[in-house]
Structure 1
Amino acid sequence: MSKPDAFSAYDPILAQTPSSDPWLHGPGEARRYGPDFDLLGKLLSVPVQSGEVSESGRFAKGIDAWLSHELRRSGFGEDEVWPRATRPRVLPRDLAVLLDKLPNKVADEVRRRLPQLPSVGPADAKVLGRAYYKQVDVCIARWDRGPELLISTKAQLSSFGKNLPNRFEEAYGDAANLRGRYPLAAVGFFFVQRATILESEPDAFERTVDMIRKLRDLEGANGYTATGLALVDWSGSADELPQVNLHSDEIPDDVGPAQFLSAMIHHVTKVTPVVHHVAVRSKMERRGIPVAEQDSADAMAEASGAE
């Protein structure tokens, strides 16, 4: 299409990863989500091996790419979740539907031009909150439904205790900004730290866990719908490339990635009618749901017929 973007290095890995069922529970059992931690390690190994490790940039994009893949695993459509697995990363679903309907030659030409039209296919998803625009790292939105899921991701790889208050302040402000305008949306905060914090600054890790819990919504106080924490680390000698590994055992279950994804997905279904996100509900509820997915065009047709 055009020159590579910040996600391009992850495309081959995602293309080779099957979209397996993420839910581990059986019918009638309590919800239990199983994140693909192996994939997260592979994605984050890309910037580590290339020496592009920073708290923003390609490392952070790897987190976004992983969360987007997890949402697609759960049943959300390929064009519903941004960033998309292919360029353009942000593409209104209605435009994606139009491209599928166009003759191949015309559709290919439109796709070629999209990167040159940032107002149509922007590189990042920016949404208006109550007080200011916010770049959202992972998003599910449609014109007929509005924003349904908004996730902010942050990485912290060093200077943990020193910078933690700033992360807390920024995150809390973003939660109030987004929830103030979109009270029904699933608004989440996902934090990734390097596991060296456990030995170098154990006090900062305790404060981190406390922060992740306190950022959640309490009695309508405009906190996040869900928050989550992941610990990663890597090492390598001159003879081998470093591989990123997850440290899951050190994270309390109530702040881990599994509960975060489960809570975010469940909230989206909880605040929408059963005729929306049918595939997501069927996977999560472990049953076939006997309704068809309703689109905005279907709803308008039904309303016209009723009149």
Structure 2
Amino acid sequence: MANPVVEKTLAFAEFDTTLMSAAKDSPWLNNGAVTEEFNPSYQVLEQLLSIPVRNKAVTRSGRFAQGVDAWLAHELRRAGFDADLVWPRPEAPRVLSSDILDLLRRLPERLADEVHESIMSGKAGSTDARILGRAYMKQTDVVMTHWSTGPELLLSTKAMTSSFGKNLANRYEEAYGDAANLRARYPLAAVGFFFVQRATILETEPAAFRRTVDMIRKLRDFGDGFGYTATGLLLVDWDDDSDDPQVRCVHPPVPEDIATAQFLNAMVDAVLKVTPIDLHEAARARRAGEVAPLPGHEWVDEQQDSLF
């Protein structure tokens, strides 16, 4: 029987090469021009999701959904948030306190390697971020947090590639409950829900697609503090008959008010709105259209071969 922890670790490892080589340019610059709309790197997502599709692992061990998680974390790093604070991290362990990372960087190389090995074999690092809500612990897919601030961003993702109408009501119920659970304990955190569906829903179950659009809108906070800060929907598809299937994003059928760009804009802006001006300086600079270096990336790029 497969070990789910090992499976999840291997799944994230499949994405590492793509993520490390992906551009980390500002999402608010498009061909050098400043834009108000977040410009997601859809090509990176397509490359990531093509890996489990080619390996026929769309549903097995959640690898497809983990590709979505890894991409959204990458987009938050592109937005200028510190790479050490955003989980899943771009290398193992995927969940690790930034204070431990800072300690590792200050240790002599040999000792740092030994400590890192201990972390990988123990419980200091993890593949999952479990966050305490008002009523229960919630495994949260994408997180930005530090002990000094608490969770600033909590993002739940879901992927659905078949049986749309059959499973939609359950996803709605789970998502609404998770929003209430997390927002009740962290009212200032940006709490988001991002849903990825296969575009075959448009042909096979158009009524389920209409319900999906309605669901994504109704999961939002209407001013009562119960819904999500932001919600988003993305359609993807691929050719099952191809020997080398390539995932592609399908944009036009998704209304702009629930599309990916507005979702990422809203999540970033929600974090910046409720934090002091001297926090997340790189993200604020990028949001203003400036070219700002990304905190945390320099060390990752230089040290990943020797330590991680």
Query: Are 2:86 and 1:61 aligned?
Result: no
Structure 1 outlier segments of 4+, above 2 Å: 3-6, 24-31, 286-289
Paired residues of 1:80 and 1:140 also in contact (CA < 8 A): yes
Change (3 A) 1:56 1:220: farther
CA pair 178-25 structure 1, distance change in 2 beyond 3 A = same
Match of 2:174 in 1: 170
Q: Distance between the aligned counterparts of 1:231 and 1:275, measured in 2?
A: 37
Corresponding residue to 1:15 among 8, 17, 20:
20
User: Secondary structure, in 3 states, of the residue corresponding to 2:11?
Assistant: coil
Alpha-carbon distance, 1:104 to partner: 1.1
Q: 1:215 aligns with which of 213, 219, 241?
A: 219
Q: Match of 2:301?
A: none
What SS is found at the alignment partner of 1:134? strand
Written as runs of structure 1 = structure 2, the 5 A alignment for 1:1-307 is 5-24=10-29, 31-54=36-59, 57-118=62-123, 120-237=124-241, 240-287=243-290
* Aligned amino acid, residue 133 of structure 2: G
CA contact (8 A) 2:26 2:291 kept: no
**Aligned partners of 1:141, 1:171: CA distance in 2, in Å?**
21
Per-residue deviation, 1:103 = 1.2
TM-score, normalising length: structure 1:
0.89
* Percent identical residues: 55
Distance 1:154 1:56, change over 3 A: farther
* C-alpha distance in structure 1 between counterparts of 2:60 and 2:207, whole Å: 21
- Paired residues of 1:236 and 1:243 also in contact (CA < 8 A): no
* Offset from partner CA, 1:76-111 (integer Å, 9 cap, x none): 122111000000100101111111111111111111
Q: 3-state DSSP class of the match of 2:22? A: coil
Aligned counterparts of 1:158 and 1:56: Cα–Cα separation in 2? 16
- C-alpha RMSD over aligned residues: 2.0
The structure-2 alpha-carbon separation of the partners of 1:204 and 1:263, relative to structure 1 and needing over 3 Å to count, comes to: same
Q: Deviations over 1:256-303 (max 9, x none)?
A: 1100001001110100000000000000012589xxx9xxxxxxxxxx
Once residues 33 and 246 of structure 2 are traced to their aligned partners in structure 1, the CA distance between those partners, rounded to angstroms, is 38
| Runs (5+) with no aligned partner, structure 1 | 294-307
How far, CA to CA, are the matches of 1:179 and 1:17 in structure 2?
33
Deviation at 1:26, TM superposition (A): 11
Number of aligned positions between the proteins: 286
Q: In structure 2, what is the Cα distance between the partners aligned to 1:245 and 1:27?
A: 25
Structure label with greater radius of gyration: 1
How far 1:25 moved relative to its partner? 7.3
Alignment deviations for residues 217-276 of structure 1 (CA, whole Å, 9 cap, x no partner):
1112311000000000000545x3100000011111110110000100111010000000
- Which amino acid counterpart does residue 285 of structure 1 have in structure 2? A
In structure 2, the partner of 1:300 is none
TM-superposed deviation, 1:65: 0.5
8 Å contact 1:55–1:156 — kept in the other structure?
A: no
1:152-190 Cα shifts (integer Å, max 9, x gaps): 000111111111100000000000000000000000000
Are the structure 2 counterparts of residues 29 and 52 from structure 1 closer, same or farther at C-alpha, using a change threshold of 3 Å? Answer: closer
Q: 1:215, 1:223 within 8 Å by CA — same for their partners in 2?
A: yes
Comparing 22-31 with 273-282, greater Cα deviation is found at 22-31
- Answer whether contact 1:27 1:286 (CA < 8 A) is retained: no
Tell me how far 1:20 sits from its aligned partner: 1.4
Secondary structure at the aligned position of 2:278 is classed as: coil
Give the conservation status (yes or no) of the 8 Å contact 2:30–2:39. Answer: no
3-state SS, counterpart of residue 130 of structure 1: coil
Gap runs ≥5 in structure 2: 1-5, 296-308
Shift of 1:64: 0.3
